[in-house]
Amino acid sequence: MSNKVIHALYDDDDVLLSAVKILRSEKHHIEEVYTPFPVHGLDKALGLEETRLAIMAFIYGCIGLCIATLMMNYIMIEDWPQNIGGKPSFSYLENMPAFVPIMFEMTVFFAAHLMVITFYMRSKLWPFKKAENPNPLTTDDKFLVEIELHDNEKELEKLLKKSGAIDVSIIEKPE
C-alpha cells in the first residue's frame, strides 16, 4: 500500500480550526496537526480522547503524600525521636502540624515531576530524539494538517484550498 499523505499549510489558527471541522465533517482522517502553540479547542475539534494525565497527577500526589508521611515518621519519630516545639510526644499524629508543610511539598513535588516525565514518555519525547516535525515553519507561525490519502488527491486538494490552506503538497512517506 502506498503511504501517501497530504500536507496543508495554514497561517491562522481560526482558519485552521474551521478547516479541521470541515475535514472531519467530510469524513477525512486527519493523521496529525502541527502547530507553533497550543490552539484552544483544537483537541475537541479533532475528537481526541480526553487526557488521563490528571488522574495520574492525583495518583502521583497520593504517592508523594504517603512517602512523605513514611519518611517523616521514620526520621523524626522512629529512628531519632525529636522534641518538637517542646512537645516530645513521640507520636506522628500529635506532632503532625509540624509535618504538614513537608507532606504538602512532597505531594506537589511527586505530582509535578512524575507528571512531566509521564507526559514526555506518552508523547515519545526523550533527550536526543530527532524531531518528527515535517515542516520547520510550524515552529514559527504556520499550522500544518496531515491527512491520509486514498486516491482522492484532486477532491481533497480542492477541499483544502477552499478551507483556506495557503499551500497544499503531497508527500510520499518512506515505508
- For the chain, strand residue ranges (E) read 4-10, 30-34, 143-148, 167-172
**What grid cell was written down for 103?**
507532606
- The distance of closest approach from Cβ of residue 170 to another protein in the complex, given in angstroms and rounded to an integer, is 35
* Residues 174 and 5: beta-carbon distance below 8 Å: no
- CA 155 and chain centroid, separation: 33
- The distance of closest approach from Cβ of residue 166 to another protein in the complex, given in angstroms and rounded to an integer, is 27
Select 54 or 125, whichever has its Cβ closest to another protein. 54
CA 142 to CA 167: how far, in whole Å? Answer: 11
Select 100 or 117, whichever has its Cβ closest to another protein. 100
- The distance of closest approach from Cβ of residue 96 to another protein in the complex, given in angstroms and rounded to an integer, is 10
- The distance of closest approach from Cβ of residue 97 to another protein in the complex, given in angstroms and rounded to an integer, is 5
Question: DSSP H helical segments within 29-141, as ranges?
Answer: 42-45, 53-72, 96-122
Q: Which residues bind another protein (CB under 8 A)?
A: 41, 54, 58, 85-87, 97-98, 100-101
User: In the beta sheet, which residues pair with residue 5?
Assistant: 148, 171
Select 87 or 113, whichever has its Cβ closest to another protein. 87
Select 50 or 151, whichever has its Cβ closest to another protein. 50
